[in-house]
């Protein structure tokens, strides 16, 4: 099978967050005139020592954290561009609430950081996140196929994945990792502008007993005692009135034509891409329907789910398009192919929108 490349695009449908696992603490940012600025701390401190040395030394000597944060806030000058790396616009209500929290010493003022290039501080969608969402869909499709029969109780997750994708060595009872067909599939990282980012509160939605669906086929769930009731400040990529579309390329680089997993996924090479896309489409449609059946009972979210449902109907007839979900807020349904558990304990939403939905369009004509 010859290597081939397929251009594709991602259209942002709802807010999304792909994090670093780190949080921005109040010493690394300043909010000024409804912009959040990420500080270049060394240059900012150098600026303060030049312009406000006595005042700065005094506040540092006292060592009051809230006073230091307020001093940073009051003496930041965005015109001195060496003192900050990037900025983005935020809603005034969010800005006021964040400043109020930090000025009162509230330890809930941390911000979950969006992943960025460490040199240019440019946000991006990692290709590994896209491939992970695709892999999830393909694994689920293979598992549901009547051709694959597994003893789920005796197989751990890594073993099941290896069996489904034909890189399990039954003789040695180990996964032959280099033969994983997804090793040959590469999605490039996709950078975008900081202007697409904003700071918002993400809320955890747990339905009440009255809001839970009465359909006995949908598993009920109970709220975990570990779940936070406090809204989470988070950097989110946003859609806009005009569609925001990201362009990239899928590369299939086959180094072993006899790889059984690739033969299963793409038996006819590039000509099999429509079947490959259909597996992705079917999986996320199924997952979306399950979530919609639950969350449509929460009235503020119903409109958003109805609009997304219309999008799913539109792409049903398009062999080169599917809808996928990426990033934070996906829940257990999307973190694994979830053979047994389709009932996440909570959903995370922002401004009554579910997180992380994208339309994916492949250019199959090239």
Q: List CB contacts of 133: < 8 A, sequence separation 6 or more.
A: 324, 325, 326, 334
pLDDT at 232: 81
Q: Can you give the pLDDT of all 366 residues of the chain as single tens digits?
A: 678 899 999 999 999 999 988 888 888 999 999 999 999 999 999 999 999 999 999 988 887 888 888 899 999 999 999 999 999 999 999 999 888 887 776 555 589 999 999 888 999 999 999 999 999 899 888 887 755 555 555 556 788 888 888 888 888 888 888 889 998 899 999 999 999 999 998 887 766 666 565 554 444 444 444 444 456 899 999 988 788 999 999 998 776 667 888 888 888 888 999 999 999 999 999 889 988 887 777 788 889 999 999 999 999 989 999 999 998 766 444 444 444 444 455 678 888 899 999 999 999 987
Residue spans per domain, the chain: 4-20+126-362, 26-109
pTM of the model: 0.87
pLDDT at 25: 83
Question: Residue 189: which of 135, 121, 117, 245 has the closest Cα?
Answer: 117
């Amino acid at each position: 099978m010859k290597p081939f490349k397929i251009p594709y695009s991602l259209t942002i449908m709802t807010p999304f967050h792909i994090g670093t696992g780190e949080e921005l603490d109040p010493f690394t940012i300043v909010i000024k005139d409804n912009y959040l600025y990420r500080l270049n701390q060394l240059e900012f401190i150098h600026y303060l020592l030049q312009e406000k040395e006595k005042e700065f030394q005094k506040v540092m000597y006292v060592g009051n954290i809230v006073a230091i944060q307020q001093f940073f806030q009051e003496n930041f000058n965005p015109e001195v561009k060496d003192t900050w790396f990037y900025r983005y616009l935020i809603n005034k209500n969010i800005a006021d609430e964040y400043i109020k929290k930090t000025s009162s010493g509230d330890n809930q003022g941390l911000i979950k950081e969006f992943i960025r290039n460490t040199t240019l501080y440019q946000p991006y969608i990692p290709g590994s996140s896209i491939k992970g969402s695709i892999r999830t869909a393909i694994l689920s499709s293979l598992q549901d196929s009547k051709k694959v029969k597994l003893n789920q109780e005796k197989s751990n997750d890594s073993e099941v994945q290896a069996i489904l994708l034909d890189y399990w060595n039954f003789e040695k009872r180990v996964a032959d990792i280099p033969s994983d067909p997804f090793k040959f599939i590469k999605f490039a990282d996709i950078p975008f502008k900081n202007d697409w980012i904003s700071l918002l509160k993400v809320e955890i939605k747990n339905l009440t007993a009255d809001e839970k669906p009465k359909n006995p086929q949908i598993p009920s769930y109970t709220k975990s005692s570990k779940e936070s009731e406090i809204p989470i400040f988070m950097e989110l990529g946003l859609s806009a009135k005009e569609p925001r579309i990201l362009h990239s390329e899928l590369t299939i680089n086959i180094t072993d034509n006899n790889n059984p997993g690739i033969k299963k996924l793409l038996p006819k090479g590039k000509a099999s891409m429509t079947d490959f896309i259909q597996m992705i489409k079917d999986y996320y449609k199924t997952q979306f329907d399950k979530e919609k059946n639950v969350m449509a009972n929460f009235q503020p979210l119903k409109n958003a789910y109805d609009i997304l449902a219309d999008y799913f109907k539109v792409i049903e007839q398009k062999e080169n398009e599917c809808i996928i979900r990426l990033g934070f807020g996906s829940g257990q349904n999307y973190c694994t192919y979830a053979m047994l558990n389709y009932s996440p304990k909570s959903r995370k939403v922002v401004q009554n929108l579910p997180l992380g939905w994208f339309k994916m369009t492949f250019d199959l004509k090239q």
